[in-house]
Every structure is written in C-alpha cells, then in structure tokens.
C-alpha cells in the first residue's frame, strides 16, 4: 500500500502545470523524432539532454521520457504508411501494417498500432508499480548464456514463419549474419571483413540496411507497378478510430500474450526488438488466421506493437533499479540521471522516492497524453497517402537520405542505403523474404557475442546452455518453436491414426 | 549516431536564447564546435562530454554551440580518423580514453596520437578491483589466495571491451600474482558491474562511477585501487567507508597501477591561439560547481595538464601501453 501512496504523490508531482507542459512538448517532439527514420529515440534524447540540465531532475526526466514515448508511438507511422520502420522494433509492424495501408485501411492499422502500444505500455507500468522490487532482481539472473538463449528463442520462433521455401529463408538469414559480422569483433578486439576500408569500421548499421531494403526497395517496386500508392482511397475521419476500437477487444488473448512477452524481454533486458519479432512469430503460430499474416491482418499489427511498447517501458525498470539500460534510449537517459546527480541502482527507490514515483506517474500520464495526441492525428497521417505518388516519392527519398545520413553523419551511408535499396528490390523480385535478413542484422552480432561470452566462461563446454533451470527452459522453448510445425504435423497424424 | 544538422539547429536555438558574455580571446570559434566522442552513447567518455556540453551551454562559456557526436566504430577508430583527416579545422575537438593508444595498437588502423594536437588533460579515471559482497574475500590477500587456488582459467574477470584497459589490467594482475584468469569482454561498464552482482563473473576492475551504486546498495565490495595513492574523496559511501578508505593495490601486495586518460585533443595543424582558446575554455569548465560535483560522483583523479607537460605525459603513457600490450600479445600482426 505504501507504493500506492507514493504513486499518488508522484501524480501530484507530474500534474504540476509546468510538468504537464513539458510532457506535451516531449510527446510532440518524440513523435516527430520517431517519424524521421534514422533519428530515433536515443538520438533525440541525446540531443535534447543538455537543454534539460537547468531543469529540476524530475521535470527533466519527465520531458525526456515523454520524448521516448513519443518516439515509440511515432515509429509505427512510417512503418505502416511507407513500409519504412523508423526504429528497429517497428520492423515487425510493417509486415501487416503496410499491407493494410495498401488495402485502404491505414486508419485502422494506425489506430490498432497506437492503441496496442498504449495497452502494452500501461501493462508494463502497472507491473513496475506493483512488483518493481521483485522483478528487478530477475535481471540479475541473466548472464551471457541466458541472453543467448533468449536470442535463440527469438530466431527459432521466427524461422519457418514465411511462406517462402525454407532454403530461401535460411539464405536470407545467413546473408544477414554475414552483414552483421562486419566491423569490430567485440570478443577479440579485431577488425573483421573491413578490407582496410575505414568506412566499414562501423559495420553495417541496421537502420541504413532497413531504410534501404524496405523504404527504397518499396519505392522501386511501386515505380514498376505504375507510380501509384494503392492506399489512395483511404477514408479519413475520426470515426475509423471508434470502429477499430470496437474490433480490438476480440484480440485480448494476443494482447495479453504480447504484454507478457514484452515485459519479460524488457526486464531481462533483451529489449524491444526481439520482443516484437517473438510476439509476431508466436501470434502467427497460434492465431486461427495465422495463414493470413503478412497480408494485412490486424492481429499482426497488435502483437508486435504491444510487445514493443511493453518491453520499451519495462526496460526502464532495470535501468532505475540496477543501472543497466534495457535499450539505447534508456542508456542515454541513464547518462542524464548521472549528470543530474542521481545514482541509479538499488538505493534509488529508497533515497529518491519523489523522483522515482514522479517518473512512474509520468509514464501513466505521458502515455495517455501520447495516445490522445497521436489518435487525433490519425486522419491527418492517413491523408498523406492521398498525396500523388509523384510528389510523395521524392519526399520519402529525401527523408530516407536524411535518415541514413544522420545515423553516423556520413555520406557513405547514403550510398550504402541506395545499394541496400537495389538489393531489397532484387530480393523481393526473387521472392526472398526480407524479415529473416533484417532479424539477423539486428540480433546477429548480439547473439554471437552472448554465445562466445558463454563459451569463454564455460571454457568451451556447450553444457552451459543447459546448466540451470532458467537457461534450459528458454532453450527448450526455442527448440519447440523451431520444430513446431513438425510437432503439429506429428500430432495431427497421430489423431487421424487414432480415429 | 548523432545527426549533426538537427543537433546544431537545436543547440543554436538554445544558445540564441541567452546573451553571450564569453570573454574576448585572440581566436574564437566562428562555427559550431563538433565535440567527437570515440565511444558509444551512455559510456564514461560520453557522459563526460555531455556534462561538458551542458556546462558550456548553461554558463554560456562559448558564443558558438558545442555539439557532441559519437563516432564509436572500430573501438573508436572511426572518431580518431575523422579528427585526423580534419586537418586545419579548429572546430573539431575529441575526448579520449585509453583507446587513443589501444585501438591503433590492437587493430593496426593508421592512426597515432601524434596525428592530433594535444589540448589538455581534464582528469584521470581510477580503476578499482571489485568483488561480489557475498563472496568471502575481504582483502586483496583473500582474493589473491582464492584466485591462485582455483584451477587455472576458472576464475572469471569481467571487463569492458577486448584488448582495452580492463583486459590490460587483468593481464597485469595475472602477471603480478602468477595466476590465470578467463577474461570475458562485455559492451559497457554498467553491464559489467551487474554481471558481477549476478555472480556471472568473479571480479571486475570497474571505474568508480560504474560500480558506486552497487557498492552503496551493498551488492559489491571494493578491494583496492590501481593508483599510486588512495583516492581523495572522504565522504562516506557505504558502511561508513569512503573512496579514501580503499587501499592502493600496491600497498596490498598487488603491484599494478593504471589510470585512464580523460583528455582533449583537436584537429592537426591547430594554431597557438586556437589551442589557447580551448585550454581557457576547459579551465573555465573545471571551475564550475557542476564539474566539481561530477568529479566527486566518479571519484576522478583531477590532475590537469596542458602544453608540453601533457604531450610528455601522453608520450610516456603510449610507451607504457606498447610495452603492456606487447607482453600480453595484443599487438596487431601488421604492426
């Protein structure tokens, strides 16, 4: 009950007019940052961090975390409208969100995405409020072996997802792994596959690959198909929000499952990206309409968005209680905390009550404010699709170029983006799935790092992945996910032979 | 990962809101100054650079905005090469950590600190030997005994990065006590500290700022500091103990000293006036209460050096790193 009293005190802090103003400014800036691919929440927060040094810490963190919420919301907009994910965790949203927009249902997709985001975040905040001290300790049990197991599960729940032949899926995934291996090898400290080219020191940044593969690739495809967006006849009024809301409760099971996956991934802290992929993969497996996934199924938008937001929110818990950021943006916020003289860690909840509960209260209010802001804008966003392709395509190209440039301030990256665009177009034409490729670029090096760290610790023994209950369970789940279709087939065969 | 166009614009807005009272110097920046961080967002160097940016903005120490840009690729090689190739551009400065020496030595990228212009040493970062508070090691002696008794290679040391400062210290300890550790590299210092709390590694050599929260929370225990004398800060942190109360490793029979440079360099071919401008700027930064708080929170060694002293110090340190890394077998084969 003490937590509730603290929370209400937190609401009082967050509801001061000055803080509400900062909240709305933060959300608006965040949405803009989220819409621009490449800019991203981490960059946005980092740029604005110094401006907040003159504010009281509680107000500053409220504003910055609202930028974070805004960016989470905003990331879905370009994914759905233009097939350009602004953030790594929005990639899974494009799979069904973009087809929906093309079918003239952008309003529906956006509403579903925003509402699911809100539900996921709300679920995670409630969890933080009620069980923060219990859950915080869970992250400590995650060593390299456990982390690898989580990545393994993410890959496994995704393999066999696409309708393309397994060979093509594996080929695409291996290409992703190869691209992820370029740059500095963090275990040996040596450069790999850079061939002495200094531009490749950084490796292939995920965002540049995605902006090219998805954004530029899509424009090339559209050009071939006759220079028109297919979502032009979108209905644009606020009624679509209410209509979509009427549909959403039917998918409560997907939402709940995605919330749990998201919270778990956020706390562990594996992050929002594996959460969104895993949630999408599992929803596809378990949904009755799983075969329709990828063709504009609303459930395919709900699952990744809910999980991504639940994870993004839950990621703040290990940051506050342990000082380990669960996401890049959380890492920048962490730096901010230190600059304001707040030391994240086990003592923060005890010594800085006002700050912690003010932040938690702002999570409730910030998300609510964010939902209202973005929902009222749904018709405006949807109307963008009515702009003729000849006008919007150059604008998207410019947006993509700015995004790619801003990742590392490098014109080389803009060239790289164009190369990836052509590659994306060719892969699509040959029916190679892009999703496994992207998944491998995002998680490939992390999975490799965790794998090698585990083996260093165990002196080369693979037994480390089955050395305790936690890691064995996750690995077993991964194997089940990998062979799910075989298991399902065996089961149905067994039933027919019994009958 | 920093978009300079937007950040310049935002910083410019921030600056134009306030009157400029910066003192007159023979040379002054006429464009926004890029402050390169050869490491990722959220790390020690990044925190320091952003604190400086905040102080410069808040106290209006510069007429032009200062923009922090992370160039972390290739263990910081990307950032160093960027400044190296900006010869004669006085609007670019870089903050360094030990990767100033270790990155070119370990990877063989074409860079040496002499390619840059030294400006000033801002501080030195301490390294402390940490163990989990649940473990029975209460002194360096307990720790050394346990490490020696464990089967070779089964004692795990966690650290940031590969063939960088943490691993160099680990090799130094191995040599000093004649034991074999397994070194496990992680991405960031905060993560390393948490791995120690979770008992996934046996010890770490985290910087004070990375582990102080866990110390205060009673999760970690500091054993000794890798400096010639104890740290200066006597404010109690945990159990009535202050940074000052941590003995030096040498005094405990573990002969290893290591301090990490937190210094500023600028592009090649800078004029005397330009160097002087930045030296004065950082003197002003160091005088602010915010900087002093920051130094205290990270228990930094606040040595300040400029000019020839600084260059001499860096040169000696480069030699030392070369020796340490050669012995450890960390040099790139191309070198």
pLDDT tens column, A210-237: 888 888 888 888 888 776 655 555 555 7
pLDDT > 60? residue B278: yes
Residues B316 and B172 in one domain: no
SS3 at position B224: strand
User: Over chain A, what is the mean pLDDT?
Assistant: 83
Residues B133 and B118 in one domain: no
Q: A454-459, long-range: CB within 8 Å, 24+ apart, which pairs?
A: A454/A143, A454/A144, A454/A145, A454/A148, A456/A187, A456/B182, A456/B183, A456/B184, A457/A143, A457/A144, A457/A145, A457/B156, A457/B182, A457/B184, A457/B200, A457/B201, A458/A145, A459/B153, A459/B154, A459/B182
pLDDT > 50? residue A315: yes
Give the range among A23-27, A202-206, B200-204 with minimum mean pLDDT.
Answer: A202-206
Is position B334 within any domain? Answer: no
Residues B242 and B141 in one domain: yes
Cβ separation A323–B14 shorter than 8 A = no
Predicted confidence at residue B142, as pLDDT, reads: 95
Averaged pLDDT, A124-144: 79
CB of B47 less than 8 A from some CB of A: yes
Cα B202 from Cα B204, distance rounded (Å) = 7
3-state helix, strand, coil in chain B (%, to 5): 40, 20, 40
Entry pTM: 0.84
**Domain termination site, one of B202, B221, B252:** B252
Predicted confidence at residue B19, as pLDDT, reads: 40
pLDDT > 80? residue B9: no
Strand partners, B128: B225
Predicted confidence at residue B15, as pLDDT, reads: 47
Q: Within the 87-116 window of chain B, which residues sit less than 8 Å (CB to CB) from chain A?
A: 106-107, 109
**Domain termination site, one of B252, B282, B309:** B252
Cβ separation B47–A457 shorter than 8 A = no
Positive/negative CA dihedral, B318, B321, B323, B325 = negative
Instruction: Check: CB of residue A135 under 8 Å from CB of residue A320.
Output: no
Phi-psi map region of A478: left, alpha, beta (phi>0 left; psi -120 to 50 alpha) = alpha
Could you tell me the two tokens for B254?
């573990």
Is position B90 within any domain? Answer: yes
Residues B209 and B157 in one domain: yes
Predicted confidence at residue A274, as pLDDT, reads: 84
User: Over chain B, what is the mean pLDDT?
Assistant: 88
Could you tell me the two tokens for A62?
């409220």
Residues B132 and B239 in one domain: yes
CB of B192 less than 8 A from some CB of A: no
Could you tell me the two tokens for A249?
């409760």
Higher pLDDT, A48 or A446: A446
pLDDT digits (tens, 9 = 90+) for A107-121: 889 999 999 999 999
Instruction: Check: CB of residue A257 under 8 Å from CB of residue A283.
Output: yes
In terms of residue numbers, what domain contains A393? 2-498
Give the confidence band of A444 by pLDDT, cuts at 50, 70, 90: confident
Predicted confidence at residue A228, as pLDDT, reads: 61
Cis, peptide link before residue A269, omega less than 30° from 0: yes
Averaged pLDDT, A23-46: 76
Could you tell me the two tokens for A217?
């690739």
Q: Which site among A41, A45, A50 would you substitute to test the B interface, given the most B Cβ atoms closer than 10 Å to its Cβ?
A: A50
Positive/negative CA dihedral, A117, A123, A126, A130 = negative
In 3D, which of B257, B231, B268 has the Cα closest to residue B84?
B268
Give the confidence band of B1 by pLDDT, cuts at 50, 70, 90: very low
Predicted confidence at residue B200, as pLDDT, reads: 93
User: What residues in A contact B198, CB-CB < 8 Å?
Assistant: 139-143
For residues B169-178, b (16+ Cβ closer than 10 Å) or e, as one string?
bbbbbbeebe
Cβ separation B73–A408 shorter than 8 A = yes
Residue of A nearest to B3 (CA): A406
Predicted confidence at residue A406, as pLDDT, reads: 76
Phi-psi map region of B259: left, alpha, beta (phi>0 left; psi -120 to 50 alpha) = beta
Could you tell me the two tokens for B50?
């952003």
Give the range among A35-49, A183-197, B53-67 with minimum mean pLDDT.
Answer: A35-49
Distance from CA of A315 to the nearest CA of B (A): 14
Residues B94 and B153 in one domain: no
Cβ separation B3–A51 shorter than 8 A = no
Is position B56 within any domain? Answer: yes
Domain count, chain B: 2
pLDDT digits (tens, 9 = 90+) for B35-48: 999 987 667 888 88
Instruction: Check: CB of residue B41 under 8 Å from CB of residue A328.
Output: yes
Cβ separation B107–A48 shorter than 8 A = no
Predicted confidence at residue A235, as pLDDT, reads: 57
pLDDT > 60? residue A29: yes
pLDDT digits (tens, 9 = 90+) for B137-154: 999 999 999 999 999 889
**What does the CA dihedral A68, A73, A77, A78 come to, rounded to 10 degrees?**
30
User: What residues in A contact B158, CB-CB < 8 Å?
Assistant: none
Predicted confidence at residue B20, as pLDDT, reads: 42
pLDDT > 50? residue B21: no
Cα A59 from Cα A336, distance rounded (Å) = 12
pLDDT > 60? residue A445: yes
Tell me the backbone φ, ψ of residue B220, rounded to 5 degrees: -125, 160
pLDDT > 90? residue B7: no
Strand partners, B93: B35, B266
Is position B96 within any domain? Answer: yes
Is position B23 within any domain? Answer: no
pLDDT digits (tens, 9 = 90+) for A79-117: 888 888 877 788 889 999 999 988 888 888 999 999 999
Cβ separation A346–B218 shorter than 8 A = yes
pLDDT > 90? residue A133: no
Tracing tokens 């609510």 back to the chain, one arrives at A368
CA A494 to centroid of chain Cα atoms: 39
Cα B147 from Cα B299, distance rounded (Å) = 27
Task: Say what percent of chain A tops pLDDT 70.
Answer: 90
How open is the CA angle A338-A341-A347, to the nearest 5 degrees? 85
Residues B101 and B149 in one domain: no
* Residues ≥6 apart with Cβ < 8 Å to B62: B22, B29, B33, B56, B281
Cβ separation B213–A323 shorter than 8 A = yes
Is position B188 within any domain? Answer: yes
Residues B205 and B138 in one domain: yes
Pairing of strands B181-186, B305-306: unpaired
Predicted confidence at residue A229, as pLDDT, reads: 57
Cα A143 from Cα B194, distance rounded (Å) = 9
Tell me the backbone φ, ψ of residue A393, rounded to 5 degrees: -60, -45
Residues B67 and B86 in one domain: yes
DSSP secondary structure of A155-222? HHTTTT-SSS-HHHHHHHHHHHHHHHT-EEETTTTEEES-TT-GGGGG---HHHHHIIIIIIHHHHHH
CB of B154 less than 8 A from some CB of A: yes
Give the range among A104-118, A132-146, A337-351, B14-28 with minimum mean pLDDT.
Answer: B14-28
Give the range among A31-40, B63-72, B102-111, B275-284 with minimum mean pLDDT.
Answer: A31-40
Cβ separation A198–B109 shorter than 8 A = yes
Give the confidence band of A418 by pLDDT, cuts at 50, 70, 90: very high
* Residues ≥6 apart with Cβ < 8 Å to B97: B38, B39, B44, B45, B76, B125, B165, B260, B261, B262
Distance from CA of B131 to the nearest CA of A (A): 15
Cβ separation B1–A43 shorter than 8 A = yes
Could you tell me the two tokens for A18?
């000055």
Predicted confidence at residue A244, as pLDDT, reads: 85
Instruction: Check: CB of residue A87 under 8 Å from CB of residue A46.
Output: no
SS3 at position A102: helix
Instruction: Check: CB of residue B72 under 8 Å from CB of residue B39.
Output: yes
SS3 at position A411: helix
User: What residues in A contact B42, CB-CB < 8 Å?
Assistant: 325, 328, 331-332, 334-335
User: What residues in B contact A203, CB-CB < 8 Å?
Assistant: 73
Predicted confidence at residue A33, as pLDDT, reads: 79
CB-hemisphere CA count at 13 Å for A471? 19
Is position B151 within any domain? Answer: yes
First to last CA, chain A: 56
Burial class (CB in 10 A: 0-12, 13-18, 19+), A425: buried
Is position B18 within any domain? Answer: no
Residues B141 and B238 in one domain: yes
pLDDT > 50? residue B2: no
In terms of residue numbers, what domain contains B63? 32-125+260-328
Cα A304 from Cα B121, distance rounded (Å) = 48
Strand partners, B248: B225
Averaged pLDDT, A284-297: 84
pLDDT > 90? residue B108: no
Could you tell me the two tokens for A161?
């997802």
CB of B253 less than 8 A from some CB of A: no
Cα A424 from Cα A414, distance rounded (Å) = 15
DSSP secondary structure of B269-293? S--HHHHHHHHHHHHHHHTSHHHHH
Which one of B5, B42, B201 has the shortest CB-CB distance to A335? B42
pLDDT > 80? residue A189: yes
Predicted confidence at residue A96, as pLDDT, reads: 92
**What does the CA dihedral A362, A363, A368, A373 come to, rounded to 10 degrees?**
80
Averaged pLDDT, B40-58: 82
* Residues ≥6 apart with Cβ < 8 Å to B165: B97, B98, B102, B127, B258, B260
Give the confidence band of A381 by pLDDT, cuts at 50, 70, 90: confident
SS3 at position B162: coil
Name the DSSP letter for residue A323: S
Tell me the backbone φ, ψ of residue B261, rounded to 5 degrees: -70, 130
Name the DSSP letter for residue A326: S
SS3 at position B165: helix
Higher pLDDT, A409 or B33: B33
Residues B266 and B246 in one domain: no
CB of B218 less than 8 A from some CB of A: yes
Pairing of strands B33-37, B92-96: parallel
Q: Max CA-CA distance within chain A? A: 74
Which one of B78, B195, B332 has the shortest CB-CB distance to A143? B195
Residues B89 and B163 in one domain: no
Cβ pairs A/B, distance under 8 A: 188
pLDDT > 90? residue A42: no
DSSP secondary structure of A482-494? HTHHHHHHHHHHH
Cα A367 from Cα A120, distance rounded (Å) = 10
Averaged pLDDT, B184-200: 88
CATH number at residue B163: 3.40.190.10
Burial class (CB in 10 A: 0-12, 13-18, 19+), B95: buried
* Residues ≥6 apart with Cβ < 8 Å to A277: A91, A92, A154, A157, A158, A304, A439
Domain count, chain A: 1
Predicted confidence at residue A136, as pLDDT, reads: 64
* Residues ≥6 apart with Cβ < 8 Å to A499: none
**Domain termination site, one of B199, B221, B252:** B252
CB of B6 less than 8 A from some CB of A: yes
SS3 at position B22: coil
Residue of A nearest to B293 (CA): A341
User: What residues in B contact A338, CB-CB < 8 Å?
Assistant: 47, 209, 297
């Amino acid at each position: 009950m003490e937590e509730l009293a603290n929370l209400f005190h937190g609401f009082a802090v967050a509801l001061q007019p000055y803080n509400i103003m900062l909240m709305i400014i933060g959300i608006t800036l965040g949405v803009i940052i989220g819409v621009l691919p490449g800019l991203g929440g981490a960059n946005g927060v980092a740029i604005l961090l110094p401006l907040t040094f003159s504010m009281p810490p509680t107000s500053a963190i409220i504003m910055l975390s609202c930028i974070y919420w805004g960016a989470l919301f905003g990331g879905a907009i370009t994914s759905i409208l233009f097939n350009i994910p602004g953030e790594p965790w929005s990639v899974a949203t494009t799979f069904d969100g973009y087809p929906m927009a093309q079918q003239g249902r952008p309003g529906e997709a956006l509403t579903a995405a925003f509402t699911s985001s809100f539900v996921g975040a709300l679920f995670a905040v409630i969890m933080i409020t009620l069980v923060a001290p219990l859950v915080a300790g869970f992250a400590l049990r995650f060593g390299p072996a456990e982390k690898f197991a989580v990545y393994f599960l993410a890959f496994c729940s995704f393999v066999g997802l696409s309708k393309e032949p397994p060979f093509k899926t594996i080929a695409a995934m291996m290409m992703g792994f190869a691209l992820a291996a370029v740059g500095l090898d963090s275990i040996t400290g040596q450069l790999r596959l850079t061939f002495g080219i200094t531009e490749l020191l950084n490796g292939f940044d995920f965002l540049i690959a995605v902006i090219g593969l998805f954004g530029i690739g899509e424009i090339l495809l559209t050009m071939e198909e006759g220079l028109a967006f297919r979502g032009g006849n979108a209905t644009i009024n606020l009624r679509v929000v209410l209509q979509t809301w009427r549909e959403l409760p039917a998918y409560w099971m997907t939402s709940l499952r995605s919330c749990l996956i998201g919270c778990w991934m956020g706390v562990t802290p594996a992050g929002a990206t594996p959460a969104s992929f895993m949630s999408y993969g599992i929803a596809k497996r378990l949904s009755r309409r799983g075969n329709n996934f990828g063709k504009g199924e609303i459930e395919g938008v709900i699952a990744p968005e809910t999980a991504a937001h639940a994870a993004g929110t839950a990621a703040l818990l290990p940051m506050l209680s342990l000082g380990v950021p669960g996401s890049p943006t959380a890492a920048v916020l962490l730096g901010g905390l230190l600059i304001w003289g707040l030391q994240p860690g086990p003592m923060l909840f005890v010594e800085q009550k006002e700050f912690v509960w003010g932040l938690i209260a702002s999570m409730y209010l910030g998300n609510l404010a964010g939902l209202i802001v973005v929902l009222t804008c749904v018709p405006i966003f949807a109307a963008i699709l009515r702009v003729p392709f000849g006008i919007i395509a150059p604008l998207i190209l410019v947006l993509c170029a700015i995004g790619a440039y801003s990742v590392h301030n490098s014109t080389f990256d803009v060239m790289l983006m164009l190369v990836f665009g052509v590659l994306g177009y060719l892969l699509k034409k040959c029916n190679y799935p892009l999703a496994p490729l992207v998944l491998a670029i995002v998680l490939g090096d992390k999975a490799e790092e965790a794998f090698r760290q585990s083996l260093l610790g165990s002196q080369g023994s693979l037994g480390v992945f089955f050395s305790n209950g936690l890691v064995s369970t996750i690995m077993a789940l991964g194997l089940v996910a990998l062979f799910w279709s075989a298991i399902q087939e065996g089961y149905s065969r067994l039933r027919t032979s019994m009958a | 990962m920093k978009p300079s166009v937007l950040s310049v614009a935002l910083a410019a807005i921030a600056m134009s809101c306030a009157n400029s009272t910066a003192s007159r110097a023979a040379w002054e920046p006429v464009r926004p100054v890029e402050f390169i961080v050869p490491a990722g967002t959220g790390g020690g160097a990044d925190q320091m650079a952003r604190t400086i940016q905040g102080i410069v903005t808040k106290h209006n120490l510069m007429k032009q905005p200062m923009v922090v840009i992370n160039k972390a690729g290739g263990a910081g090689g990307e950032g160093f090469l960027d400044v190296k190739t900006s010869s004669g551009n006085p609007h670019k400065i870089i903050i360094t950590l030990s990767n100033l020496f270790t990155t070119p030595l370990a990877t063989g990228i074409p860079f040496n600190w002499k390619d840059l212009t030294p400006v000033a040493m801002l501080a030195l970062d301490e390294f402390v030997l940490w163990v989990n508070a649940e473990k029975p090691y209460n002194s360096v002696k307990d720790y050394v005994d346990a490490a020696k008794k464990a089967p070779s290679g089964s004692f795990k040391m966690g650290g940031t990065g590969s063939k960088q400062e943490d691993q160099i210290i680990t090799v130094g300890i191995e040599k000093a006590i004649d034991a074999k550790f397994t070194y496990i590299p992680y991405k960031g210092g905060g993560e390393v500290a948490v791995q120690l709390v979770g008992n996934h590694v046996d010890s770490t050599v985290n910087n004070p700022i990375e582990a102080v929260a866990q110390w205060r929370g009673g999760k970690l225990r500091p054993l000794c500091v890798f400096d010639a004398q104890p740290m200066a800060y006597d404010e109690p942190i945990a159990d009535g103990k202050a940074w000052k109360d941590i003995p030096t490793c040498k005094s405990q029979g573990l002969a290893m000293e290591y301090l990490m440079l937190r210094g500023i360099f600028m592009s090649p071919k800078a004029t005397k006036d330009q160097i002087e401008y930045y030296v004065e700027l950082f003197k002003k930064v160091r005088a602010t209460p915010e900087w002093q708080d920051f130094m205290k929170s990270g228990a930094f060694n606040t040595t300040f050096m400029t000019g020839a002293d600084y260059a001499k110090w860096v040169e000696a340190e480069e030699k030392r790193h070369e020796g340490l890394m050669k012995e450890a077998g960390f040099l790139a084969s191309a070198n």
